[in-house]
Homo-oligomer: A and B are copies of this chain.
Amino acid sequence: METLLLAQDDIRDLVRAVGLDALMDLMIARLTEAFATFDPEHLIIPKRNGFSYRCPVMGLVEWMPCYETGKQVTIKVVGYHPTNAEAHNLPTIVSTMSAYDTASGHLQCVMDGNLATALRTGAASAVATRLLASDRAQTVGLVGAGAQAVTQIHALARVLDVKEVFFFDTNPAVQATFPARVAPLLGDIALRPASLEAVVQSADVLCTATSVPVGEGPVFDDIATRSWVHINAIGSDFPGKTEIPPALLQRSFVCPDFREQAVAEGECQQLCAEAIGPDLYEVVQDAARYAPLQERPTIFDSTGWALEDHVALMLFMDLAAEHNIGKKVRLEHLPADPHNPYQFGDG
């Protein structure tokens, strides 16, 4: 019994074999399908749990399990450490994903989760945007231009006819490097560094993807937005961490990815229960009903849902099999006699 490892070089090979646009398109399609068919009796997804701390640095490590009944358990273990880039030149979000066969408990796959997390977070925003943003949306605004912004704009460009992107980051170095990071993905789309206010005011579709500290949100004041603005609020994923002004939330249609988690960690922390709309999967499953919202302010409260990680891991495992990519390792000690843990073979 082997375990498939999809390590950094395998992820690179997989991206080269499939292509980034095709990979994002597949991710969006698989996620749309997963939302459209989501049944909480079939996919059991508890609220994530973890350890958060202020020492040695502010951060958290949490686990996000998902159980596809009769088939598989997938678990993402993810760290969030906002000081990573400056202190270690590492991404803020570092994760791995694992899949376990429920017939035996065997670990089928361990995979880098960094790329898959960025991709699925972008893809989830694309799903929400396609349903809730105006059909005429052409201008995207990005508040926060770090790693997640790359996949946000990439995903949006796959589902919208984007003409212009206004972007703002509090870190001048991140602001400066953003165009070079995303230009290869975006063809003729104009990339315009802008003030925070200009980003918020001009956006047909706005994305907030910041590491704002707990208790220091929102990340912009309640200034005038387009009356049809759709916002993908992806940075709020921790108790006390919020990005969107409460008044804007209150006058918008707010759709969480996973309500139970969003009320604890997302923008929905700032709302009373009655002000929270349906989960995104419910909008996907009844799109016609929610279509009129495209002309109103709408907010996708994206805390990051284990369903998305499950779908991402399954997609990567399928693509790895198709392209024969990955390392097979006998990770578990499985003696020929299963009753003898001290049997080690001859090799």
Residues of A within 8 A of B (CB): 1, 5, 7-9, 11-12, 15-16, 20, 44, 46, 49-51, 53, 55-57, 59, 61, 63, 65, 67, 69-70, 73, 75, 77-81, 84-85, 87-96, 98, 100, 102-107, 110, 112-115, 118-119, 145-147, 150-151, 154, 174, 177-178, 181, 185, 327, 329-345, 347
Contact = CB atoms under 8 A, between A and B. Distances in A.
A79 B53 contact: no
Contacts of A112: 331-333
A339 B150 contact: yes
B61 A73 contact: yes
A103 B60 CA distance: 9
A16 B116 CA distance: 38
Given A339-B146, A341-B151, A102 B334 contact: no
27 contacts: A5-B5, A5-B329, A7-B330, A8-B330, A12-B333, A12-B345, A44-B51, A50-B65, A51-B65, A51-B73, A51-B102, A56-B103, A57-B102, A61-B67, A84-B338, A88-B103, A93-B105, A95-B105, A95-B332, A110-B110, A110-B331, A115-B341, A119-B341, A150-B340, A151-B342, A177-B339, A185-B342
The residue in A63, A73, A75, A145 that gathers the most chain B C-beta atoms within 10 A of its C-beta is: A73
A147 B347 contact: no
Contacts of A339: 85, 91, 145-147, 150, 174, 177-178, 181
B96 A79 contact: no
The quantity of this chain's copies bound in the complex is 2
Contacts of A104: 59, 79, 81, 84, 87-88, 90, 94
Contacts of A332: 8, 94-96, 112-114
Contacts of A185: 342
A50 B44 CA distance: 11
Contacts of A327: 329
Contacts of A55: 69-70
Contacts of A113: 332
A149 to B, nearest CB: 8
B105 A80 contact: yes
Given A91-B338, A102-B56, A67 B51 contact: yes
Given A16-B344, A110-B110, A63 B79 contact: no
B67 A65 contact: no
Contacts of A57: 102-103
Given A59-B105, A110-B110, 14 more contacts: A7-B331, A8-B332, A15-B344, A44-B51, A57-B102, A61-B67, A77-B98, A84-B104, A87-B103, A96-B332, A112-B333, A114-B334, A174-B339, A181-B339
